[in-house]
A and B are shown apart, each in its own frame.
Chain A
Amino acid sequence: MSGTDREKGGWPFEELPKGWCWAPLDLVFDNVTSSDKKLKQKQYLQEGSLAVVDQGQELVGGYTNDESLAYKGELPVVIFGDHTRCAKFIDFYFAQGADGVKVLRPTPLVDPKFSHKSLLALELPDKGYSRHFKFLKATKFPVPPLHEQKRIADRIDALQDRSRRARAALEAARPLLDDLRRSVLAAAFRGDLTADWRRENPDTEPATELLKRIHQERRRKWEEAELAKMRAKGKDPQDDKWKQKYSEPEPVDTSGLPGLPKGWCWVRLSELGEMARGKSKHRPRNDPQLFGGEYPFLQTGEVAQANGQITEAKKYYSDFGLAQSRLFPVGTVCITIAANIADTAILGIEACFPDSVVGVIVDKQLLSPSYLETYIRTIRADLAAFAPATAQKNINLAILNEVVVPIPPEEELAEVDKKIQKALLLADNAQKEVTAGHAKLAAQEQAILAKAFRGELVPQDTADEPASVLLERIKAAREAQKPKNGKRK
């Protein structure tokens, strides 16, 4: 860009190609913006007889039935967004939308389509949301011979057809990536991803066996603990009646649940390990005594924002804080049960949290923390459905207790985790490709415009009348046309 002449800055060339000339904005466009015939955004309709064009990215912002607002001048025009810097080519009748719309009618100096491309090629300084039209007014426009303008505009259109197709393909991929992730996870929890593994390892111990053993182990531990408690009180049981106090977990009612592959079984969330609410008994909750120590303390919101893994804390409990709370170990799966329902994250650090978060310390024989976290994330929408439709959505522990998780055989578990990680990685890579594609496309589109405005896109024809000649004629015609009252036509 020629840095010395600020007026001519913003164009992608150093020297004006042969036969081209410079012209100020008002010789390229007539500013025919209406100051009173416009429509506020909240007045837009979904359908109507007249399209409303504003400075948004969409060609048409909305519709209206108020014909009195229609632009009555000649078409086509170019609409320039004072704030958004967008430029749109409009060849149909419209009403001006909202604020910041500048309606510019191309003069006979320029081919209308070409004039639109000029605005696309021009680099205006980005002043955020403030107005840009003044920069436009200060800019001089490069004007090729008229015939060359038309050739350039046609050529750019042909090229943009292709880039439009590329863009459409990339846009189509975007929702598919989300679908892919969800589909992969759904497939993982149906056992589809490890179907081959099961075929090759037909004799693994089913999860039900493991579960049985775990139940037995828990019962045994409970009996030990009860015995120890009783003995501490000086009592010694004479018979085994006290053992009946133990409540064996009910078997899961699988009648409404989808079928599982061989060896898998449904297990209640509460049986997957230890499940407990966070603690923060003291009031007021923000009592300074509680903080300033070295025990990480997490708020509910931090679980949602953690993106699956919590690696640092913003606040720290003191010893006093710890005493009225509980420090959960690394690997605990945190599930929110208020505000943002069922957001999940795994503790990468030990931490305390309030009772609006439930921590699940999984029995690693049954499943890994990441398996559980991923599963809850997958069924999250269903969980939220259990919260009463109140302003403060809450699900309670009882509901969470009953959530069932599909558990694969122990040997298959590692394989499932592996497959999930691999598939999600592939999805991430695909995402990167799409993003890169968009970037490349944007760069290509700029390159097209740059080339056009360097005069390299189409061959020049020396027979074309140089632009300066047309410019002089128009200037002369304007002078002659000036009505006596000084107003523009």
Chain B
Amino acid sequence: MATTHDIVQKLWNLCNVLRDDGITYHQYVTELTYLLFLKMAKETGTENQLPDGYRWDDLENQEGVNQLSFYKIMLVHLGTEASGRVQAIYANASSSLTQPRNLNKLVQSIDELDWYSARQEGLGDLYEGLLEKNANEKKSGAGQYFTPRPLIDSMVELVKPKAGELVQDPAAGTGGFLVAADRHIKEQTDDLFDLPEAQQKFQRHQAFYGNELVPETHRLALMNLMLHGIEGPVQLGDTLAPSGASLPKADVILTNPPFGTKKGGGQPTRDDFTFPTSNKQLAFLQHIYRGLKPGGRAAVVLPDNVLFEDNVGQRIRADLMDKCNLHTVLRLPTGIFYAQGVKTNVLFFSRGATDKGNTKAVYVYDMRANMPNFGKRTPLTREHFREFEQAFGNDPMGGSSRTDTGEAGRFRCFTREMISKRGENLDISWLRDESEGNGEKLPEPEIIAAEILANLRTAMEEMEELSDMLDNGEVTE
């Protein structure tokens, strides 16, 4: 896909145009999004969803100062008068541009780009490429909404979503998981052509759904999905608020809930959780395993503390292992996320027919110890997951025959009893990390600094809680 790459690079360089206007990376990917969408609608022949007079050619035909004023009017109009999806995308859209010549340059550049070789799928890849580049730029902070592609692809490959299944992402971000699941199904069904008409419609309009909390990100998610021919209901909403309970039960859940335990954003306000907690990841975990249909399956990226946190964490894990078969835990390497310093895992589980004793044993794969230091110089790739994928096996429910590799290997089996004895602690490791302190093998400074910061923050938070508890004399979980 060399052509797509060239376009991505060119589009990325277009940011210099906007930088003159004093626009941040995040602002300009949004700006580019508004324009690209119009151009893409023309290229894909879907302009009828845009009101007459507010389409690419209408913008392109304007000149000089008029173009910028028309553009601004256009954004407002599309955000209020257009229908359904388009309106959702342009809702509250406003331009950060102030110089007419910048808009001129942008529109011209976009018009000049060689769209011929980049058809609908290609355009979608281009968009995802843009999002990834945006995530790579530390300063934008957009990285927190982007899960690395190789990880998503691996999870989808193992969970194997099928046509006809309801696939949910309750923390959709920019839509990466849903797009990947859709891609997987399209590969299996010759781009949906193998499916009868009604099923194709289902795939397009219902199969993929979820929530995203942040309006700016939601916009990008909608665009991303649309460019891949997905029009399922991804709402602007908070899964941890009461409305989250109304998300329909799923056959498959693939997600990476946001990291961090920021106190701002408040407590989850949902009241249907059995175990109320202020820990957002624990709250998401509850939503997920309760939101699966019997026989449904999930793969979720969660930080270490979900695996070992005591008290309510312990109870939630016990409940999870009762109601679901938690068959696999993958310990992910550090340095792969744009939110640096986080230690994460993927939990693979399926909902049982009954509510008790569904987990008999958990296989843990350690992909964290003795791995290269991932970062800009060593990017994570799909290859890094091959060994794990082989060990996982072909059964998306985790039922493939597996071998415990013993203490020297990366894949080991732990029975439910063993885990019970540890207080339901799933933070299990056995490999000694041999990466010694040679300057060349050290992670990059930013990564270490972020980890130090994360540790300091944890310590501070715990001490603050401690202070509170001392002062108020109340027992918090």
Contact = CB atoms under 8 A, between A and B. Distances in A.
On whether the two chains bind one another, the answer is yes
Interface of A: 155, 158-159, 161-163, 165-167, 169-170, 172-173, 176-180, 182-187, 192, 258, 378, 423, 426, 430, 433-434, 437, 440-441, 444, 447-448, 451, 457-459
B442 interface: yes
Contact of A430 (B444, B456, B463): B456
B69 interface: no
Contacts of A458: 473
Contact of B470 (A180, A378, A423, A448): A448
B444 A187 contact: yes
Number of chain B interface residues as a range: 20 to 34
A177 B442 CA distance: 12
Interface of B: 310, 437, 439-440, 442-445, 448-449, 451-453, 455-456, 458-460, 462-463, 465-467, 469-470, 473, 475
Given A166-B462, A172-B455, A159 B443 contact: no
Contact of A177 (B437, B452, B463, B475): B452
Contacts of B443: 179, 183
A157 to B, nearest CB: 11
22 contacts: A158-B469, A158-B475, A159-B469, A162-B463, A163-B462, A163-B466, A166-B459, A167-B459, A169-B455, A173-B452, A176-B452, A179-B443, A180-B445, A180-B449, A182-B442, A183-B442, A186-B442, A378-B439, A437-B460, A441-B463, A447-B470, A457-B473
Nearest to A430: B452
Contact of B466 (A159, A170, A186, A437): A159
Contacts of B310: 161
A162 B455 contact: no
A38 to B, nearest CB: 31
Which A-B residue pairs are the 5 nearest by beta carbons?
A186-B439, A166-B462, A169-B459, A169-B458, A173-B455
B450 to A, nearest CB: 10
Contacts of B465: 162
A180 B445 CA distance: 6
Contacts, number: 98
Contacts of B455: 169-170, 172-173, 176
Contact of B437 (A169, A179, A457): A179
Contacts of A169: 455-456, 458-459, 462
A444 B459 CA distance: 12
Contacts of B442: 179, 182-183, 186
A451 B465 CA distance: 16
Given A163-B466, A167-B459, 8 more contacts: A165-B458, A165-B459, A180-B449, A182-B439, A183-B442, A433-B456, A434-B452, A437-B456
Nearest to A188: B445
A440 to B, nearest CB: 6
B444 to A, nearest CB: 6
A272 to B, nearest CB: 20
Contact of B456 (A161, A426, A434): A434
A158 B442 CA distance: 37
A192 B444 contact: yes
Nearest to A185: B439
Nearest to B439: A186
Contacts of B448: 176, 179-180, 183
Contacts of A158: 469, 475
B466 A444 contact: yes
